[in-house]
A and B are shown apart, each in its own frame.
Chain A
Amino acid sequence: MTDIPGTLWTLVATPLSYGFMQRALLVAVLTGAVCAVLSCYLVLKGWSLMGDAVSHAVLPGIVLAVVLGLPLAVGAFAAGVFCAVATGYLKDHSRVKEDTVMGIVFSGMFGLGLVLFTKIETDQHLLHVLFGNMLGVTDRDLIETAVVAGLTLAIILARRRDLLLYCFDPRHARAVGLRVEWLHYGLLVLLSLTIVASLKAVGVILVVAMLVAPGATAYLLTRRFERMLMVAAGVAIGSSVLGTLASFHINGATGPCIVLIQAALFALALLRDQLMRRRALA
């Protein structure tokens, strides 16, 4: 036991000698990275609840996609956008507050998804859709996730300045001639795509954690946006690697392990922030 580097190496190498663990690690890193980049925008915009809502709302879309023989991504995507549009419509045409409307719409859609699931024969397991099935990821799943995640990342990074301006100050964005409605719905589309990409890894219920924690952590650590993107991605990728390896050793579910490590890193960032501020005051 004195050989610490050797022990560490076995801790890492043993899980990775299995093919399913290699695929799990890859899919976790991909998912973590794309969620982290988007989470920076969601945190700045105050859209954490939106992530929660859209991720639950995709469930009926997934079931219908199975029925119609479409790719799951198409159904999930349509349902996610429907949730956002329906929320906007109901809010504009009634006197109920936005967060209440959102709660009603996404819980209603989630409930509908559950009912559809019991009535329709699918080859999907409900629990896999809800909580992901990281250890059962196939090569095909890996490719699908990589394509969706890569596409989403590319779009976000290409338009990162426009999106940033929109999140910080929509009025200014409009004033300089950006099409604010397009950016609004663009961000929603990216959110739905990200949730689709995360389906295999963490499922629709835990993805909201990955859509909040990295951005919030990075927000505490830096004040420059470009750096915030990188810190968030670093935090998420690190948590994905550590969480996947840890879940192998403690024989627990992978998604929750990753989320808990992200939360722990957030707590550390919070502690550092507090210490810095206290020192600044002293």
Chain B
Amino acid sequence: MSELLVPFAYDYMVKAIWVSALVGGTCAFLSAYLMLKGWSLMGDALGHSIVPGVAGAYLLKLPYAAGAFFAGILAALGMTLVRTHTRLREDAVIGIVFTAFFAAGLLLVSINPASVSIQSIALGNILGISDDDAFQVVIISVVTLAVLLAKWKDLMLLFFDESQARAVGLRTTALKVLFFALLSATTVAALQTVGACLVIAMVVTPGATAYLLTDRFGRLLAVSVAIGVSTSALGAYVSYFLDGATGGVMVVLQTLVFLAAFIFAPRHGLLAGRRKARAAAEVASP
């Protein structure tokens, strides 16, 4: 029994667990919106696009979040620019821009391997996070959560029914910009816990799971955040026993929760669907 408590004896583990939980909760909050809009690719793209900013910031000894923001904004501008000027499909445009940014980041790291390891950028390194970086992650998450709590209803209206949102006097463009700013801020935070390659899971899976479990948006947000917080904290804890792969463990846990919801969800699950079909068949053939 006491073996299970060992991780809590280490400061770095305690820090990793609560920082992960905070980031996981923030990502999960946003995931509810992303999932509704079908913007999963956007989350993936942002996660990769900020890598050159992070690499550059470590190189110049700047706060990593500043570099990440800068790169994220550049990538978003690049995507908008290319999209408005071609007949190419949107997914191809996003694909080209984010991979080019990611490649630029990898090249920067490969030329200057001393400043930061490629592994911690691509796969996260929450167990070895410095106090300085942890501080940035916490600030980002707290500010994002505060803004989301203040604006969640406006954002909900915007995403469900944009013309209605405009009709009641919401400034829709400003809200959209706000949402993307929050999204990039969260990907910057998530980069530290799960790394660039797995950010997409953090900003998609909890929301989709909650979507299978409830029909009311307020409850969906609560369920999603609960899943995000618990899987992230548990993931960090379990990774102590696995000697690493923290991001991988978190994402596997989230996927397992999703699969459980997919099968067992009371109304929208696979089994519920089978039951319904059987009941319908019995009614049809008495």
Chain A interface (Cβ < 8 Å from any Cβ of B): 43, 46-49, 51-52, 56, 90, 93-97, 99-105, 107-108, 110-115, 117-119, 126-127, 130-131, 205-206, 208-209, 212-213, 215-216, 219-220, 250-253, 255-257, 259-260, 262-263, 266, 270, 273-274
Contacts and interface: CB of A to CB of B under 8 A. Distances in A.
Contacts of B279: none
A94 B262 contact: yes
A108 B123 CA distance: 14
Contact of B96 (A99, A119, A212): A212
A256 B118 CA distance: 13
A126 B40 CA distance: 26
A103 B245 CA distance: 19
A212 B231 CA distance: 33
Nearest to B204: A103
Interface residues of B, number: 57
A250 B198 CA distance: 30
Interface in B87-108: 88-89, 91-96, 99-100, 102-104, 106-107
A254 B89 CA distance: 28
Given A48-B89, A212-B92, A260-B100, A118 B245 contact: yes
A267 B107 CA distance: 19
B118 A112 contact: no
Contacts of B201: 103-104, 107-108, 111
Contact of A260 (B38, B92, B104, B244): B104
Nearest to B42: A99
Nearest to B252: A111
A263 B268 contact: no
A55 B94 CA distance: 17
Nearest to A253: B110
Chain A, interface SS category: helix
Given A99-B38, A255-B103, A216 B88 contact: yes
B40 to A, nearest CB: 4
Given A46-B89, A99-B40, A274-B85, A115 B96 contact: no
Given A209-B96, A251-B111, A111 B82 contact: no
11 contacts: A47-B91, A56-B197, A100-B35, A110-B198, A110-B248, A111-B249, A117-B245, A118-B243, A220-B86, A256-B103, A263-B96
A96 B106 contact: no
Chain B, interface SS category: helix
B64 interface: no
B255 A270 contact: no
B40 A118 contact: no
Interface in B186-221: 197-198, 200-201, 204-205, 208, 211-212
B173 to A, nearest CB: 24
A206 B40 contact: no
B86 A273 contact: yes
A8 B216 CA distance: 66
B205 A212 contact: no
Contact of B99 (A105, A107, A114, A206): A206
A216 B92 contact: yes
A65 to B, nearest CB: 18
B7 interface: no
Nearest to A102: B40
A48 B103 contact: no
Contacts of A118: 242-245, 248
A115 B86 contact: no
Contacts of B43: 103
Contacts of B107: 252-253, 256-257, 260
Interface string B119-156: 10011000000000000000000000000000000000
B219 to A, nearest CB: 16
B103 A107 contact: no
A37 B102 CA distance: 23
- Shortest 7 CB-CB contacts between residues of A and residues of B: A108-B255, A114-B248, A111-B251, A209-B99, A253-B110, A263-B100, A107-B201
Given A95-B212, A216-B96, A256 B106 contact: yes
A108 B247 contact: no
B103 A220 contact: no
Nearest to B243: A118
The winner among B102, B245, B268 for most chain A CB atoms within 10 A is B245
